[in-house]
Amino acid sequence: MNHPVSNFIVSYFYWVFLAILVLNLLQRKYRQKAQRKRGATLYVAIFVFVFYIYAYGIIQLGLSEWFLLVYLAVVGLLVGFYPQTFLPFRLRCASCSKTLSFDRFFYSDDNLCEQCARAASETESTAEADESDDREHPEDPER
Ligand SMILES: [Zn+2]
pLDDT tens-digit readout, 12-60: 999 999 999 999 999 998 878 899 999 999 999 999 999 999 999 999 9
CA atoms within 13 A on the CB side of 125: 5
Instruction: Please give the distance, rounded to the nearest whole angstrom, from the Cα atom of residue 27 to the centre of ligand 1.
Output: 22
pLDDT at residue number 123: 86
Instruction: Please give the distance, rounded to the nearest whole angstrom, from the Cα atom of residue 58 to the centre of ligand 1.
Output: 46
Considering only the C-alpha atoms of the chain, give the largest distance between any 2 of them, rounded to a whole number of Å.
88
Higher-confidence residue: 140 or 41?
A: 41
pLDDT at residue number 111: 94
Mean predicted confidence (pLDDT) in 94-116: 94
Q: What does the mean pLDDT of the chain come to?
A: 90
Instruction: Please give the distance, rounded to the nearest whole angstrom, from the Cα atom of residue 109 to the centre of ligand 1.
Output: 14
Instruction: Please give the distance, rounded to the nearest whole angstrom, from the Cα atom of residue 51 to the centre of ligand 1.
Output: 36
Note whether 105 and 90 are within 8 A (CB): yes
pLDDT at 65 over 90: yes
Note whether 87 and 79 are within 8 A (CB): yes
Instruction: Please give the distance, rounded to the nearest whole angstrom, from the Cα atom of residue 114 to the centre of ligand 1.
Output: 7
Instruction: Please give the distance, rounded to the nearest whole angstrom, from the Cα atom of residue 111 to the centre of ligand 1.
Output: 8
pLDDT at 138 over 60: no
* Cα dist from 91 to 50, 55, 87, whole Å: 27, 31, 11
Domain ranges of the chain: 1-89, 91-143
pLDDT at residue number 126: 78
